[in-house]
Amino acid sequence: MANDKTSERLQKVRSAKALAHRLKRKRYEFMRPETQNSGDQPSGEQSAVLDCGWGRLIFAQTFDDTTRLVSALREEAPDHRDIAIYVSDPHVLLAEAPQEIFLDPSHTFRLDLPTYRSGRRQPRGFCVRRLASEADARAVNRIYSARNMVQVRPDFFWSNRDSRSTTYLVAEDETTGEILGTVTGIDHVRAFGDPEQGSSLWCLAVDPQARHPGIGEALVRRLGEHFKARGAAFMDLSVLHDNSQAIGLYEKLGFRRIPAFSVKRKNSINERLFARPTEAYDALNPYARLIVDEARRRGVHVEITDAEGGFFRLSNGGRSVHCRESLSELTSGVAMSICDDKAVTRRVVERADIIVPEQMTATDDDDALQAFLDKHARVVVKPARGEQGRAVAVGLDSLEDVRKAIAAAREVCDRVLIESCFEGEDLRLVVIDFKLVAAAVRRPPHVIGDGRHSVRDLIETLSRRRAAATGGESTIPIDAETERCLQLSGLKLDDVLEDGREVVVRKAANLHTGGSIHDVTEIVHPRLVEAAIRAARAIDIPVVGIDLMVKNPTQPDYVFIEANERPGLANHDPQPTAERFLDLLFPLSGRRAALNSLGKM
């Protein structure tokens, strides 16, 4: 009798579980949104898939078998990144298609929203709001590109701005109106009727050149508050296992790690996640890596000959070209020699009717120096040969400062040049195959006070952020030139900078000394483009960075500064600098050649 009662109780438990499972499935089906074009799921389907523009989120818990889930992953569109999330048995799924899919090496973190408390600290200098215009969408794509993320058609953002399931937030600079960061949120209940009342965070990205601290934290907090107000039970996110900085932020905000897994397809976008590159590749700097990545995408063979120096050999179709970053065998030794000596460069381009500043060679004759200074009021001192902005001093207005700058420049090169100072902005124009590819304004580093930290602390913090954003290529040296620039503002390194005060800490806008780059390709004045191309032809160099000082990139006034035979092609997002470089070296490779062969160009 006892055994009969036990069997009866077990049967009731099984029946209850089966009923709960059926009700759960029914709830998915009943609460299914109606249209996929609006970012939601069509009705009547059991398997939830959400188009996010950069790819699709495939909610694995709504699929009844692994075969259907793998089939969904196989429907991934070209140049997109689909993600199957909440995979309960990843080992079983991987066994279904081991050559096509892989387990994403990311951790899943969860924020329990009912117990989450909003932060007391308010954003300084920026605000967080919803994406509100097509200009916002373009700015988000610019940040995605800078962070090597898959971009989204701007019209997709715009057409989905009122989606019930997707929320786009941006951080906006209160002074300039520039978009500094972005995050996307998915409401699981509105996306597919999630019985767990969940939500998730995706595509958190901050402009690598943003100077305000706390942008990422503010975006995460605002999204969490948004979903908590909607009654969501939790907000999940996925983060690469070795991204210790991001994990530290999430743990600080109260996220906890949960045992949830994601699976992706083996495609070129995900390659670094499932096929670790060679050790030599890791040693390449960002400028070399950008070109190597583009070559590999095209099927061009890459041989890294000296990683630390940025040397590699590219081969395709019987053609082989040795490169050092953007400097290739196509650039002649004569062209290199012209660019190497700034005085020679100036003479060559001046003969091509390029406007150049007045210049003299530094001397120990104080009378000659003072006469040049009296004539121009402010001058620039720089070594005749050198790169990366080393020992360049800008805006000097006293004989004592000129002497000090000459002494510093002579440590780089025995011959030192003094030029008249043209007030304005530093414009870099990248010319490849005598065509403009990118134009960007380079701005000197500056810090913003918070009333608590010294100028030195603020510079060191900004320098760490710049280094992290550029793979260690951009840092702000604290030296005599930095101290001189601070003295112009009446400051010393250990002074506490008052809240909201903005101070330029170096006059030179070179990226390697902490400068930032801002794309102006779409608005640059045609006369400036013409001058850059004419200078490139005068030097007869196929790849070059032409530096001009301009009043404004939209105006025709300029003065030529120098030509760089090895311009950094990174940091010019969203312009296709690496693509055009590979087009020059291997015209029959890549998408443009394919479209041309099909008669579509």
How far apart CA 403 and CA 166 sit, in angstroms, is: 60
Q: How far is CA 37 from the centre of its chain?
A: 28
Band of residue 41 on the pLDDT scale cut at 50, 70, 90: very low
Is 406 among the domain residues? yes
**CB contact at 8 A, 260 and 90:** no
Q: Does residue 365 sit in the same domain as residue 478?
A: no
Is 167 among the domain residues? yes
- pLDDT given at position 21: 44
**Residue in 401, 398, 405, 394 with CA at minimum distance from that of residue 370:** 398
Q: Does residue 412 sit in the same domain as residue 450?
A: no
Is 380 among the domain residues? yes
> Looking at 506, 533, 558, which one is the last position of a domain?
506
Is the model's pLDDT at 417 over the cut of 80? yes
**CB contact at 8 A, 247 and 112:** no
- pLDDT given at position 141: 92
- What is the phi-psi region of residue 30: left when phi exceeds 0, alpha when psi lies from -120 to 50, beta otherwise? alpha
Sequence letter at residue 133: S
Beta bridge partners of 51: 56
Q: Does residue 388 sit in the same domain as residue 498?
A: no
Range of the domain at 390: 358-421
What is the tens place of the pLDDT at every residue in 297-341? 888 999 999 999 999 999 998 899 999 999 999 999 999 999 998
Q: Does residue 139 sit in the same domain as residue 210?
A: yes
Is the model's pLDDT at 465 over the cut of 80? no
Is the model's pLDDT at 36 over the cut of 60? no
Is 92 among the domain residues? no
In the chain, % of residues over pLDDT 70: 89
Give the CATH number for residue 382.
Answer: 3.30.1490.20
Is the model's pLDDT at 37 over the cut of 80? no
Between residues 554 and 475, which one has the greater pLDDT? 554
Q: How far is CA 12 from the centre of its chain?
A: 57
Distances in whole angstroms, Cα of residue 480 to Cα of each of 93, 420, 503: 60, 21, 16
Whose structure tokens read 């402009």? 207
- pLDDT given at position 460: 87
How far apart CA 601 and CA 590 sit, in angstroms, is: 13
How far apart CA 391 and CA 236 sit, in angstroms, is: 48
**Residue in 104, 195, 203 with CA at minimum distance from that of residue 144:** 203
Other Cβ atoms less than 10 A from the Cβ of 577: the count is 24
- Model pTM score: 0.66
Q: Does residue 179 sit in the same domain as residue 242?
A: yes
> Looking at 258, 291, 310, which one is the last position of a domain?
258
Residue 574: is the preceding peptide bond cis (ω within 30°)? Answer: yes
What is the tens place of the pLDDT at every residue in 355-412? 999 889 888 888 888 998 888 888 988 898 877 677 888 888 888 888 988 988 898 8
State the alpha helices, DSSP H only, in 284-423: 286-298, 333-340, 342-350, 366-376, 399-410
Is 576 among the domain residues? no
φ, ψ of residue 539 to 5 degrees: the values are: -80, -20
Is 118 among the domain residues? yes
> Looking at 478, 506, 534, which one is the last position of a domain?
506
Other Cβ atoms less than 10 A from the Cβ of 333: the count is 7
Distances in whole angstroms, Cα of residue 291 to Cα of each of 12, 274, 278, 442, 549: 65, 21, 16, 22, 28
Other Cβ atoms less than 10 A from the Cβ of 129: the count is 12
Q: Does residue 405 sit in the same domain as residue 468?
A: no
Is 101 among the domain residues? no
**CB contact at 8 A, 82 and 55:** yes
- pLDDT given at position 298: 84
What is the tens place of the pLDDT at every residue in 189-216? 999 999 999 999 999 999 988 888 889 9
Is the model's pLDDT at 592 over the cut of 80? no
In the chain, % of residues over pLDDT 90: 51
Band of residue 4 on the pLDDT scale cut at 50, 70, 90: low
- pLDDT given at position 32: 37
Sequence letter at residue 212: H
Is 416 among the domain residues? yes
Give the CATH number for residue 235.
Answer: 3.40.630.30
Other Cβ atoms less than 10 A from the Cβ of 412: the count is 16
Band of residue 29 on the pLDDT scale cut at 50, 70, 90: very low
Q: Does residue 116 sit in the same domain as residue 203?
A: yes
Q: DSSP character for 331?
A: S
Burial 241-255 (b: 16+ CB within 10 A, else e): eeeeebbebbeeeeb
Lowest average pLDDT, out of 33-37, 156-160, 494-498, goes to 33-37
| Dihedral angle sign, alpha carbons of residues 195, 196, 197, 202 | negative
Q: Does residue 118 sit in the same domain as residue 173?
A: yes
Is the model's pLDDT at 168 over the cut of 50? yes
- What is the phi-psi region of residue 11: left when phi exceeds 0, alpha when psi lies from -120 to 50, beta otherwise? alpha
Note the maximum CA span of the chain: 117
Q: Does residue 113 sit in the same domain as residue 234?
A: yes
Give the 3-state secondary structure of residue 63.
coil
Q: Does residue 376 sit in the same domain as residue 479?
A: no
Based on the structure, what is the number of domains in the chain?
3
* Cβ contacts of 5 within 8 Å, gap of 6 or more: none
Q: How far is CA 313 from the centre of its chain?
A: 26
Hey, what's the torsion of the CAs at 281, 283, 284, 289, to 10 degrees?
A: 40
- pLDDT given at position 7: 53
Q: Does residue 487 sit in the same domain as residue 454?
A: yes
**CB contact at 8 A, 62 and 48:** yes
Q: Does residue 117 sit in the same domain as residue 196?
A: yes
- pLDDT given at position 269: 84
